[in-house]
Structure formats: C-alpha cells, structure tokens
Amino acid sequence: MTARLRELVARVRDFFQRDRLSAELDDEIAFHRAMMARDRTAGDEPRDEGVGRRFGNTTQIREDARAVWGFAWLDALLQDARYAARSFARTPAFTVVAVATLALGIGANSAVFAVVRGVLLRPLPFPEPERLYLASYQPPEIAPRMQISMVGNDFIELARATRTFSDLTTFALGQSTLTGVGDPVRLNTAQVSAGFFDVLGVQPAIGRAFDASERDATGPKVAILAHALWRERFGGDSGIVGRTVLIGGVSTTVVGVMPAGFAFPPDQSVWMPMDTRIRPGMQMRRPVIGRLQRGATAQDAQAEIASLAPKFVPDPTQTEAASVARVFPLERLLVRNAKQLILVFAGAVLLVLVIAIANVGNLLVIRAAGRRHELALRTALGAGRRRLFRQLLAENAVLVGAGAAIAVPLAYGGTRALLAFAPAGTIPRGESVAVDGGVLAFTLATAFVVCTVLSIVTAVSQRSATSMALAAHQTRVTRARRATTAFVVAGEMALALVLLAGTGLMIRTFAGLRAVDLGFDTSRVSAMTIALSPRQVGTAAELHAFHHDMLGRLARVAPGGTAAMVNWRPLGLFQISGTFRAEGHDGSPGFMVSKPAVSADYFRVMRIRMLAGRDFTERDDAGAPPVAIISSAVASRLWPGENAVGKRVSMSDKPTAADWISVVGVVDDIHQLEVRGSTVPAIYQPYQQVTQPLFLAQMTYLVRSSADAGQLLPALRAVLRDVDRDLAPMSLATMDDLVAETRQEPLFQARLLAVFALLALTLAAIGVYGVLAYSVAQRTREIGIRMALGARGGSVVGMVMRQTLFLAGAGLALGIGGAIAGTRVLNRFLFSVTPTDPMTLAGVSLLLAVVALAAGAIPARRASRIDPLVSLRRDGD
Amino acid sequence: MPMSYLVRMPPNKNELLRGTLDMLVLKTLAAGGPMHGYGIAQHLQRVSDEVLRIEEGSLYPALQRMRQRGLIKPEWRETPNGQRARYYTISAAGRKQLGESASTFGEMVAAIARVMGTA
C-alpha cells in the first residue's frame, strides 16, 4: 500500500513538473536521433528498414510519457471544462438562468441545512447530553415547559432522596441591570441551585463555580459571567476574577467566566447562586434538571419521583387535580417548538431544489436539441459517442460547480438573515448555527446529486439528439421530448402550488391573529415597563408611594391624556394566575384566575368594557375596604344569573374575616396570556391594596392620549430618568408594537415560506416560458405554413395559449392534490384556517394560473409574428 | 504449483511486455553501469544478437515510468564525445525489483519449457 502511495506522490510531483520533464524528454529524444543519424552515416550499425521511420512520431512518445507524468483524465477533464466554459459563454442567457437557478436551489438548501444541523443534529454542548432530563411533578394538563416543572420544596425533597439521578438542579430566570461598566444594560440572569454546573458537566473556563457559603442568601454576593458579556463589557480582562461589579445595584464579586458557547438556560449573561431551602407554603414552580445515573432509565426516574411524591410538602391550594411525575429529555425540550418548524422549512426548501433541478434539466434538454447540428458535426469529425457524453458531463459539472460556488456565499448570507429575522426564541441554539465544514460538505454532496440527476437527463436527451442529427425519426423524437418537458413543467407548477398554498395559509393565519378581538384596544397607548431590583423593593407602602408618584408624573406627560398601570400587562411574558375562594362556594371554585394589580383608570386606558358596577378610584387605597373587579367569566361561573356586584371573594386559601374582598365591578374578559388561546378569567385588585412587595416590583405604566403613542415614548423615559437615574426600563414601546410582537412568529413563518414560494413560482414561470418558447421554435415551419394558408396572428396566439392552459391545468390538478396532502404538516402553526381551506387554494391556484399565462404570452406573441416567407425558407427545425 | 504462473499472468498483453522490458532495462543498467537511452537500446540489441529491438516509442515512456517509481535515477552528463545526454543509474529499489522480476521470469520460463516438453 505504501508503494502505491509513494507512486501516487511521485505522480503528483511529476504532474506539476510536466513542463520541465517534457523539455528534458525532448532533449533526450534529440540526442537519440542525433546518435542514430551519426551511426547510420558512419555505417557502424547494420541498416535495417525500421530505422528510417523509427522516430516518425515524437508526439506519440511525448503523449505516452505524459500519461506517465500525470493524470491523463485530469488533462482531458480540464480540456473538457475549458470547452464547456466556451460553449456556455456563447449562450449567456441560458447560462445565467441555469447557474442562478442552481445557486439559489443549492444555496437555500445549504442555509436551511446549517440551521437543521446547528439546532437539531448537533448534540447539546454538554457531556453525555442524553442523560439530561427535565424532572416534572405537576398537574397533567400543564404541558411540559422549561419554565416550570416542579414546586421548589418538592425539588429539595427529590434532590435529597434520589437514587436514579446522580445530580439535580433548579434555576430561576430573571433580569437585572449591570451598571458602572459603560451604559447601564439589562441582562438576563439565572439564579442556579447547587450542582447546576455539575449536572450540566460544564465548569467555568476562568475562575470557579460557586462554593457552599455562597449558596446562602446571607453569604457574599457572587456571579459567573457569560463569555460574550465578559468579552464585550470587560474587554476579556483576564484578571476579572475577584473584580466587583454592580448587578441590580448590588456589588457582586465575579468568581468565574463560562466557556464560549455555553448558553444554558438560553440567552443568559449572568449566573448567580440560588438559595434553596424549604420554605413552607412556597408554591413557586421552577424547572428542575437532572442527570440520570448511568444505567438508569427515564422510566426509573419517573417511578422514583412518583414514589417520593407522598413525602412532598402538600400543596394546600391543590385540591383534587393530582400532580403526576414525568421526565422529558432536555434535548427535546430545548428544540421542541423549533423542530417541526425547521423541518417544514427544510421540506419547503427541498421542493425549491427539486423545481430548480427540473428547470435546469428542461433547459439542458432544450439546449441539447438546439445543439444537435454541432453534435452531429463533431460526430462526423470522429468524436465517439462516449467522448461526446463525457463532454456533456463536463458541461454539467461546470454548470453545477458554478452554481455551488455561488451557493456558498448565498448560504452564508441566508443563514445570517434567517437568524437575524427570526423572532427571539423561534430558532433556539442559534449560537451553534454556522456555515462550516459540515455545511460545505452538504453543499458539495447536494451539488453532486444535482449533477448526477442532470447527467442522467443529459444521457437520455443526448441519445435522442444524436439520432435526431440523423434526421430520420425527427418528428417522433421531438414529440416525445415535448411531452416529457411539458410533464416536468407541470410538475414544477404543482410543487410551486404546494409552497404557495402553505404561504397562503400562513398569511391567513397572520390575518386571523390580527382579527382576534383581544378585549382591549391598544391604539394610542404607550407603555413603559420597569422592574425594581430587590434592593429597590422596599415595603408595600413604599412601593405604593413610588408607583403613585410615577403615575402622577406620567399623567402630566400628555395634555388631556390618561395614565394607568398594571403589574403584569396583557400578552406580556407571564401572568400570575392562582386559585381563590368565593363566597357561597366551599373550597376552590375549581378554576384559576389571572390576578392583575391595577390602578384606577386602567380599564379606561385599555378600553376594556365595563359591564357592571364601578371602576377603581384613588380612594380604594390601603386604608379603604378591600375591593375587586372581576371579569365576566368569573361572574358567570360563580354566580350565574345573579348580579356579581356586592358578592365577596378572597385571594387567601383560608380566609379570615379581614381577607374577604367585595366585588365592585364586572369587566369583559380579555386575552391575558396569548392571542391564540382563549380569554382568561381575571380578578383585578387596586394596586394600593396589594400588600406583597413581589407583586408590585414589576409595573407597566400606560398612557393613552390623542397624541401618537410612539412620539410620547421619550417623554415617558424622561419621567423615569427624573425619578431614578439608574433605572433602565425593561421595555418602552407602544402597546400596538407589543401586541404585534406576539404575531412575529407567524409573520416570520409566512415571510420565509413566501420567499421560498416566490422562488418556486419564478422558477416555474421560467419553466413554462422555456417549454413554450422551445415549442414555438420547433414549430416555426408549421406555424409559417398555417400563416401562409391564411391563419391570423390571433389564432396562432390562441394555439400557443391553449398549450399554456393545458400545462397550467395539469400543474394545478397535480398541485391541488399535493397541497391538500402536504399542507397538513402546517396544522399546528395555523390559526383560524384549516390546511385544506378552499379559499386559500383557490386564491393561490388563480395566482399560479395568471403567472403561467403571462409566461406563455411571450412565446405566443413571438409565434404570431413569424414571417411565413422566412420560416419556410429555413431548413425544417 | 508451477502452472499457476500462467494463470497469474496479467490479462493485458502489454502489461506482460512492459514488465519484461523494464526487467531488460534494469538488467542492462545493473550489468553495464550508467547508460543513456540510446546506449540501452544499442546494448540490448547487441547482447540479444539483434533479436531484441527496442522501439523508442516504448523505451522512453518505460524509462519515465521507472524513474517515477524510483527504480532508476537520471542524470545529465557529457558523453565521451562531449555531448549532453541523460544517463540512467539503477537504484537500490531497482536492484530489488530486478531480483524479483528475474526470479519470477526464470520460474516462468522453466514452467513454459516444461509445458512445451522442451525441458
């Protein structure tokens, strides 16, 4: 084997020294010839009849030697490639269309592959990620979500007793402001329990993880920074460990920096220790992640959680709805939502590639027909069929190679654009998406497949082209080829229709989401949300005063405007929901309610319909009798047919006499959590009667005025600056924009599918045009005869357009079937429209038909202008 | 079994001839020292009593092949007459190859002779 290798090395070396070797060989032959001539004249050697012609063919010797020096096939290939390039240069229109088509098809696929690979194929960047599971113990109707899986106290119990998990951890997500290093910046922070880094199996790249003393709330304040934050804000300072920074106004010591690319939980910048101790009555749920013992299975873990459940601190609010123990692979959870979406895009982009191949294949067939004279000439000059075929293969390789070369930057840009335009969270693990060696290999492999398919097309069409060159059964071959290309174009249109239908459905979904009556009106409302850090959160009374002051200042921002506030705004990141008690009902009423704390005028600012009773006023303060406003769903479920105003509810589970709250009003139900879901029943309280500081730490201030909501935003920001210079708003936007944000994902899906669909439509249009133009060119003579015999331009146009209609009809018939079968994959992304929505199908079919007819109109027009004299003089094509 | 040499013969006739030509060239260089292409051809013709005539069209590609495989080493030198010529010297690898070819060839000739009943 090594001898083989050595020979190959020598061969490669010689290949690059061919010029020198060739010159030396020439010298050597010249010497040989001179010696022979000398010997002959000297008569030393007996003359024989062979000597005279021995050196007749120096070229032959050189050719044979050349075969030794290098790679004859490579030489031939380069020659073929040069010939191919020249041949393409003669037909620039064909070449540009074909290369662009291939580049788009291959490039789009490479870009989507980069995403598929980064998100779905690459293992999580943790050792043995398949052993990581989310442990959950919650009511079965709650979907497994990263945000919550287990009550904090249950986690402690589980962590203490587990035998199936080698380690368990929990964490809580938050936001905080980093000050003192450039402008104040809001950061995503994660408070993590002991063992967090052990469970994941990743340790800080610089410094260390938290130690036991730091896990105590009373211990020193410490933090570990994300690599990106360390690079951007601290210039990659190698002496960062031990440095003190201000996070949420608290001086915090940096103890470590995580390695680059570590992103768990996703998008975190700072990790801080969490104090995990049993807190009686604490029902906060948090995600719990565990690493299974080697050999333990998910079933074991599930059974263990179930068996430990009786020991868990009972939840007083939890009545009959029993929790169940379940575990979910972490890997699946992280990409759960994205997986199907990405696969849909992969499918869509694959369809585009198929259309691209079909298109170029058709163009090649048409081109081969046009070149049959050239091929016949070359055959006559002695080129064998194999040689000609090799030439055509080289042409395909050049074509696809050029397409693939352009596809690489397209894929790079496409991937970047995809990640940039995707709304946050749509494509998780974005940091591991890159156009790298793996993606380039995919591009190459795709190019190879495309080239192979095109070569098969070429092989088939060449056979008919050469036999056509013999002009024997020309008509038959032409007809067969026309049928094939027509069929391929119909197929292209069908695939384009599937993509168009998908796009149409997503657009209708987006429109459907826009049409939802949210129960509130966001126009002309500006919103500013703040979150006070633990340091700033004082007593409830202090918070009441702070918010009251803010509200007073904001009310003066816009003349004639109204200001109000709510602690967790509708369609925000989360809502506080909980159980409650109602007068006349034993135990829990059996459903949870959203519990917003609001100011007076909140319903007026949000234009939530007041159905009965009164609004809150400034007089409903801490000292006044407690009051509540309930939404109509609460009223109708608790007291059907009765007047709810005057009834009493309580937020406490075992209400004492002082805990009862009088209902003073009923408002309409609104979409508190999401646009897609249903409205959520709610019990509103005046903020001044909410006594838990936690529920007053975050607040969204709303201002409605006759002014443009966007123009008011700087004034809102200025008010906050006057009150607290170091407080950065968590968000500052018009309510319209905040609501629009919730529709970003379907909008993104619709846009991306639209890009693919338009690409497909354009390619299909080119396909229609190409086939008809070819057909017209083939029938020039026939059309000429018809016109000579009196056919009018109009009837010729009609003839071509009938052909177009036939093509479009076949494409639509195939495509509608395909769309009905194919758009089902979109089902879970759709809203207010079914996958087989007839309106959508009809609309996109019409669009496709119009485009097809437009593409056919150009060749039709050309056909009508054929000059009978010219066409008849020409040799029949 | 001696018969097996016949079976092992390369299917391509040229391959066999090529191998034989290489062997003859190597033998010539091993016996006669450094030689140029013309000299090799002349030597073979003379030694074989004019039976073997080497086509230049075969010789020079063969020399290139053997050079590439490291069996012979070329070197430009002056001839006794003061002309520039490329002399070839057999290398260690060439000698090894020659030994192998020669024994194979010997066995084959003997086998053929036995088959033909001339041994």
Could you read off the pLDDT of A312-344 as tens digits, one per residue? 766 555 544 567 888 888 887 777 667 888 888
- pLDDT confidence bin for A428, thresholds 50/70/90: confident
The first and second tokens of residue A165, run together, are 């998990």
Return the pLDDT at A159.
85
Does this complex have an ipTM over 0.90? no
Check pLDDT > 70 for residue A534.
Answer: no
Spatial distance between the Cα atoms of A252 and A229, rounded to a whole number of angstroms:
15
Please give the average per-residue pLDDT across A231-254, as a whole number.
Answer: 88
What is residue A232's three-state secondary structure? helix
Q: Report CB contact under 8 Å: A50, B53.
A: yes
Residues 6+ apart with CB under 8 A from A201: A126, A127, A128, A291
Spatial distance between the Cα atoms of A308 and A150, rounded to a whole number of angstroms:
13
The first and second tokens of residue A746, run together, are 């379907």
State the average pLDDT for chain A: 84
Check pLDDT > 70 for residue A278.
Answer: no
Check pLDDT > 90 for residue A703.
Answer: yes
Return the pLDDT at B7.
27
| CB hemisphere CA count around A637 (13 angstroms) | 18
- Find the residue in A nearest to B69 (Cα): A7
Return the pLDDT at A566.
95
End-to-end Cα separation, chain A, in angstroms: 57
Out of A14, A25, A57, name the one closest to residue B57 (CB): A57
Return the pLDDT at A150.
80
Query: A564 exposed, middle or buried (CB, 10 Å; 0-12, 13-18, 19+)?
Result: buried
Looking at per-residue pLDDT, the higher value among A510 and A263 belongs to A510
How many separate helices (H) and strands (E) can be counted in chain B? 5, 3
Q: Which residues pair with A734 in a beta bridge?
A: A526
Q: ω before A265 within 30° of 0 (cis)?
A: yes
Q: What residues of A are in contact with residue B85 (Cβ under 8 Å)?
A: 28, 31
State the amino acid at position A797 in one-letter form: V
Beta strand pairing call for A250-257 and A222-225: parallel
Q: What residues of A are in contact with residue B56 (Cβ under 8 Å)?
A: 29, 32, 54-55, 61
Going by C-alpha positions, the residue among A660, A853, A837, A849 that lies closest to residue A772 is A853
A42: distance to nearest CA of chain B, Å?
A: 15
B37: distance to nearest CA of chain A, Å?
A: 7
Return the pLDDT at A849.
93
Q: Report CB contact under 8 Å: A34, B53.
A: no
Q: Report CB contact under 8 Å: B60, A65.
A: yes
Spatial distance between the Cα atoms of A467 and A88, rounded to a whole number of angstroms:
23
Return the pLDDT at A472.
46
Q: Is B61 on the interface with A (CB under 8 A)?
A: yes
Q: What residues of B are in contact with residue A51 (Cβ under 8 Å)?
A: none
Q: What residues of A are in contact with residue B86 (Cβ under 8 Å)?
A: 24, 27-28, 31
Going by C-alpha positions, the residue among A545, A547, A544 that lies closest to residue A563 is A547
Percent of chain A surpassing pLDDT 70: 89
Highest average pLDDT, of A482-496, A534-548, A698-712, comes from: A698-712
What pLDDT digit, counting tens, does each position of A536-553 carry? 677 889 999 999 999 999
Q: Report CB contact under 8 Å: A65, B61.
A: yes
Please give the average per-residue pLDDT across A57-73, as a whole number.
Answer: 70
Return the pLDDT at B32.
85
Element (DSSP H or E) covering residue B74: strand B72-78
Return the pLDDT at A475.
57
* φ and ψ of A648, to 5 deg: -130, 145
Q: What residues of B are in contact with residue A35 (Cβ under 8 Å)?
A: 38
Spatial distance between the Cα atoms of A52 and A68, rounded to a whole number of angstroms:
27
Residues 6+ apart with CB under 8 A from A171: A190, A191, A192, A193, A196, A265, A274, A286, A287, A289
Residues 6+ apart with CB under 8 A from A336: none
What pLDDT digit, counting tens, does each position of A642-690 carry? 899 999 999 887 788 888 999 999 999 999 888 887 888 999 999 999 9
Spatial distance between the Cα atoms of A491 and A815, rounded to a whole number of angstroms:
8
Out of B41, B50, B61, name the one closest to residue A61 (CB): B61
Spatial distance between the Cα atoms of A195 and A211, rounded to a whole number of angstroms:
10
Contact A500, A753 (CB under 8 A): no
Model confidence, pTM:
0.72
* Out of A222-231, A289-298, A586-595, least confident range: A586-595
Return the pLDDT at B89.
93
Q: Is B73 on the interface with A (CB under 8 A)?
A: no
Looking at per-residue pLDDT, the higher value among A175 and A840 belongs to A840
Residues 6+ apart with CB under 8 A from A562: A555, A601, A604, A605, A703, A704, A705
Check pLDDT > 70 for residue A448.
Answer: yes
What pLDDT digit, counting tens, does each position of A589-616 carry? 878 888 999 999 999 999 999 999 999 9
Spatial distance between the Cα atoms of A695 and A691, rounded to a whole number of angstroms:
8
Contact B57, A61 (CB under 8 A): yes
Return the pLDDT at A281.
60
Contact B80, B66 (CB under 8 A): no
- How far from A596 is each of A72, A463, A630, A686, CA to CA, in Å? 81, 77, 10, 9
Write the Ramachandran bin of B62: left for phi over 0, alpha for psi from -120 to 50, otherwise beta.
Answer: alpha
Contact A862, A772 (CB under 8 A): no
Please give the average per-residue pLDDT across A579-589, as a whole number.
Answer: 82
Highest average pLDDT, of A164-178, A450-464, A577-591, comes from: A164-178
Q: What residues of B are in contact with residue A46 (Cβ under 8 Å)?
A: 50
In three state form, how does the secondary structure of A109-133 look? HHHHHHHHHHHHHCCCCCCCHHHEE
What residues of chain A have any CB closer than 8 angstroms to a CB in chain B?
A: 6-7, 10-11, 14, 21, 24-25, 27-29, 31-32, 34-36, 45-46, 50, 54-55, 57, 60-61, 64-65, 67-69
Write the Ramachandran bin of A715: left for phi over 0, alpha for psi from -120 to 50, otherwise beta.
Answer: alpha
What is the maximum alpha-carbon separation in chain B?
Answer: 53
Q: Which residues of chain B have pLDDT under 50?
A: 1-14
Spatial distance between the Cα atoms of A640 and A516, rounded to a whole number of angstroms:
26
- Chain centroid, CA A426 distance in Å: 6
